[in-house]
Chain A
């Protein structure tokens, strides 16, 4: 029975790796922190969906639920001061990088206290001070800037690493290839982390891409490529940790393909009419290995008391509730006078 399930899972996530033990350089306390972070993102995104449905959030919201292991694993492996570039599905990246949920909700509510002063919204939430060089709504457009940040680091010799989150859809954008080539040619300290969720908006990646294994492209550019279990926070952690070490050692970029699955719609309002019942039935097995369930199971098996884990989940939920209350009751609409602010540097206004 267990084997049968594992086979089913592997047909979707070939790199499926059970969570058996802590990575050697992680403590249990760190693992619990990571679990908190996963729960925080999950809770955040579920509330985002509710609030979007309640018309409290404008525009499109691409929720990060079920991808938590990638953001949390990757960001845990990076140093403070390292750079990341995020995507339209970027709430998880920001939270994993330590952003305040309150200021994130403030941004989603379009408030002046939001990270982007109410001018970015869901697709662009970024705490730039934490090293996020922005979240971009154009698929693949953060890849080259991440390499540019790596070029900076190299020229400045500051030992920083840059990581670009992007999806499988972005692998088919031209700048992906251009940037991987240049990063490899110049040994840039950059990690290309492909969050492979199988769906390019409403099109199955496999329908439009002959070679399903994105990591194999790395070889063509002369860099290591690796495929990992994107639902496994420790696997992500290890892969990024190793890639960052290589980068810092001046050995150049790595392409990591973190396979997971977009369990729900492209955005919170997507009815997925392009996805048939059979497919949804097929992927239902993945709920057994999704990050919250699985990390919790691992921690339980590692001896963390059930109550403590429940407490972690409750704390995460409470933090999100507080964050919403803060954004809702203590934040302010930006004034119209801010309209022209920040188009140009140093307070310059060009009408």
Chain B
């Protein structure tokens, strides 16, 4: 166990997996010589060569498609879309090829492909460099989606994603690269895809969240505790398949649930999670399940405007109060 940042944890995951399996390679803009704009792949090219840490041209559809072809032919590519916003360019390859090929070809194609997609706003990068579009992929059978928060989960889930034989969308939040935490050592450390974690136990309200909002929810829970309100915080870690057993077990205890994410509220993961909760656990609900997400507004540049769009601790607290109001 040692203290590492998310950036270091991801880097370590890459190094371990590339060491372990010669089929693992990275491709994306600036991943090689530069070591990624966020420093995630720093040093990997020196160690594994530019053949395996490939600097691509700015051709998302092209290099994502190449990742698909390489995955279908025995490699374990990790393709990086530098900003989540640009995943739009690569949608055809992700949605129509990577996700569908195994099924469409009768189970005869392997697709061990990881697509890393940094999400998140908050840095004044405006509408085309700030989005969190993970919910789109929840709509696509054939994909898996992970969105970890802690350095340990980032490492364990990236390694698990690389070893998974399915196309995995890996959403890491740009603002969390410097978040520090304890990370288990050792090549064998993995976090199972599809398992949520209870980040904080509580009795009154369940906060279901992931990625950067885990921190926000924990802070809200801390404040609410002073009011005598006890929140359980669930870090989903994986969005597809989603660990509804853990979610429902918590609701069984609290009867109240709020889904919190940074992405736009409308059509976000929260909408689907709440719908699923209604179907699975209606009789456990003591209050309507609520959602907290960004306003349905493109991310604005101005700092005040931007922070008005993004959900924060007070939004979570307000939602908890509303849930408990029995209104």
Interface residues of chain A, those whose CB is within 8 Å of chain B, are 83, 85, 114-120, 124, 126, 128-129, 133-134, 136, 138, 141, 143-153, 155-156, 162, 174-175, 178-179, 181-182, 185, 341-346, 348, 350
Tell me if A134 and B109 are in contact (CB < 8 A). yes
Q: Which residues on the B side are within 8 Å of A147 (C-beta)?
A: 62, 65-66, 69
Q: Which residues on the B side are within 8 Å of A150 (C-beta)?
A: 69
Tell me if A144 and B66 are in contact (CB < 8 A). yes
Is B123 engaged at the interface, CB distance under 8 Å to the other chain?
no
Q: Which of A114, A152, A342 contacts B69 (CB 8 A)?
A: A152
Within 8 A of A (CB), among B191-246: 240-241
Listed from nearest, the 3 A-B pairs whose CB atoms lie closest are: A148-B69, A144-B65, A178-B62
Tell me if A350 and B240 are in contact (CB < 8 A). yes
Interface residues on B, range: 35 or more
CB B279 to nearest CB in A, in angstroms, measures 12
Q: A145-B97, A152-B74 are in contact. Are A120 and B106 (CB under 8 A)?
A: yes
Tell me if A343 and B66 are in contact (CB < 8 A). no
Tell me if A146 and B69 are in contact (CB < 8 A). yes
Q: A145-B66, A147-B65, A175-B65 are in contact. Are A138 and B165 (CB under 8 A)?
A: no
Q: Which of A141, A149, A182, A346 contacts B72 (CB 8 A)?
A: A149
Tell me if B105 and A153 are in contact (CB < 8 A). no
For A148, the closest partner residue in chain B by CB is B69
Tell me if B66 and A344 are in contact (CB < 8 A). no
Q: Give complex CA distance A185, B66 in Å.
A: 14
Tell me if B106 and A136 are in contact (CB < 8 A). no
Q: Which residues on the B side are within 8 Å of A141 (C-beta)?
A: 65, 92-93, 96-97
Q: Give complex CA distance A151, B66 in Å.
A: 8
Q: Which residues on the B side are within 8 Å of A148 (C-beta)?
A: 65-73, 77
Q: Which residues on the B side are within 8 Å of A133 (C-beta)?
A: 69, 72-73, 109
Tell me if A144 and B52 are in contact (CB < 8 A). no
CB B33 to nearest CB in A, in angstroms, measures 15
Within 8 A of A (CB), among B62-88: 62-75, 77
Q: A134-B109, A152-B73, A185-B57 are in contact. Are A119 and B104 (CB under 8 A)?
A: yes
Q: Give complex CA distance A136, B99 in Å.
A: 13
Q: Which residues on the B side are within 8 Å of A174 (C-beta)?
A: 61-62
For A152, the closest partner residue in chain B by CB is B73
CB A151 to nearest CB in B, in angstroms, measures 5
Is B142 engaged at the interface, CB distance under 8 Å to the other chain?
yes
Tell me if B102 and A152 are in contact (CB < 8 A). no
Tell me if B97 and A136 are in contact (CB < 8 A). yes
For A347, the closest partner residue in chain B by CB is B107
Is B101 engaged at the interface, CB distance under 8 Å to the other chain?
yes
Q: A116-B104, A116-B105, A181-B57 are in contact. Are A175 and B75 (CB under 8 A)?
A: no
Tell me if A345 and B164 are in contact (CB < 8 A). yes
Tell me if A124 and B104 are in contact (CB < 8 A). yes
